[in-house]
Amino acid sequence: SPFEMAAGTYEGVIIYRMREDFDPGISLEPSRGSFDVKVTLKVNHTFRVSLNSNARKYGIQPQGGWRAWNDRGRPVTPLESIGIFFNLETTSPFTMRVYCEFIVASDCGLKNPQNKLVPVHTLVSLPYGVTDEAGSQPNEKRLTVSKAEKFKVSGYVSSGGGLIFRI
C-alpha cells in the first residue's frame, strides 16, 4: 500500500511472456517472446492542518459553566478551554509535542503578575484512522513538553480533531 511507503519515486519493469502471461489471440503472431512494461510510482504524502474560525479566540471556563462556581463560591471542577477544533488531512505518520513560554513539570504554565505559575494540561483528540503508539484512538490524550507523541495513520484521513487546555 502506498500509505505504508516512504515518500519518493519507485521504478520497476514488469516482463510479460507471450502465450504464458499474455495471449494475443489466434490471429496475432508476436514477433518477440515477451514485452516489457516500465512502471513509475511517485509517492507524495499529504499533511495539512486547518484551524476553524474559532481557533483565534477562546476562553477558559469551568466544566459546565460558571454557575456552579458562583453558586458555591469556590471551584468545583477544573477549568478548561472551549475546544479549539481543526481539520486534519494526512496520509503519513506524525508527531506532536507542546512548546511553551512557561513550563511547570512536563506541562505548559500560565503566570500571574505575582510570578506564580499554574500548570495547564494540553489534551488532543484526533479523528478515526489515527492511532497512538499503543494502537488506541487518541481521545483527550495528554501532550507534554517532555515527550513527542507519535501517531500512526491507517490510510487517508480528512476529518476533524480538537485541543483542550485544562487547568
Sign of CA dihedral 71, 77, 81, 84: negative
SS3 helix, strand, coil % of the chain, rounded to 5? Answer: 10, 50, 45
How far, CA to CA in Å, does 112 sit from each of 40, 74, 115, 118? 59, 19, 5, 8
* Count, residues in the chain: 167
pLDDT in tens, the chain (167 residues): 777 778 889 999 998 887 777 776 666 666 777 888 999 998 888 888 888 766 666 667 666 666 766 776 666 666 666 678 888 999 888 999 999 999 999 999 988 889 999 898 899 999 999 999 999 999 999 999 999 999 999 888 988 888 888 88
Alpha-carbon distance 41 to 12, whole Å? 9
Longest distance between any two alpha carbons in the chain, whole Å: 94
In one-letter notation, the amino acid at residue 158 is S
